[in-house]
Amino acid sequence: MLLSDEEQRMLDGEYGPGTQRAMAFLKTLGEALEAEKMVRVTSTHILPDMPTEYLEQMTEGVAAMRTMVSLMPCFDPQYWREQYGIVSTEELIGGVGLTDEKDYATNMAILNKLGVIPTFTCTPYTVGIVPRRNDTVIWSGT
């Protein structure tokens, strides 16, 4: 897979360990899909309740996101505990498991520090995040 000079510097670790890990993952994925090169992404829309250890590893040494990132909705476990007394990650609400309170708080602190937009919607275009012609977006669940 052909990398630009900047992408290669990211892969070589010049931008820190988190960026290096992310680029290694993306390069492996691109090669598995037989991609010729990477494309610049205009915006992403992600789940905030990913595994905390993974998020910490992928953002180690990263000061800010390189593209606009907004968040999908998720269950705030503190809210569910305070409002409904549900505290176990084993309990389900509408068939969806709840994230651990500590993990949720850690993830949100990391994402806030990086400048992620807390839209908490499945449809970012309804809150003003609208792709323009020729934009490349990576929006999970939309």
Contacts of 126 (CB under 8 A, 6+ apart): none
pLDDT at 123: 92
Question: 44-58, 66-80, 86-100 — which is least confidently predicted?
Answer: 86-100
> Hey, which residues does 7 pair with through a beta bridge?
none
pLDDT tens digits, 1-47: 999 999 999 999 999 999 999 999 999 999 999 999 999 999 999 98
The angle, 0 to 180 degrees and rounded to 10, between the axes of the packed helices 17-32 and 52-59 is 100
pLDDT tens digits, 107-134: 999 999 999 999 999 999 999 999 999 9
Per-residue pLDDT for 96 more than 60?
no
pLDDT at 77: 85
Confirm if 45 and 142 have CB atoms less than 8 A apart. Answer: yes
Grouping H, G, I as helix, E, B as strand and the rest as coil, residue 100 is coil
Q: What value does the CA radius of gyration of the chain take, rounded to a whole number of Å? A: 17
Sign of CA dihedral 102, 66, 44, 10: negative
11: phi then psi, degrees, rounded to nearest 5: -65, -30
CA gap 6, 32 in Å, rounded: 21
pLDDT at 142: 47
Burial label for 55, CB within 10 Å (0-12, 13-18, 19+), is buried
| Average pLDDT rounded to a whole number, residues 96-111 | 84
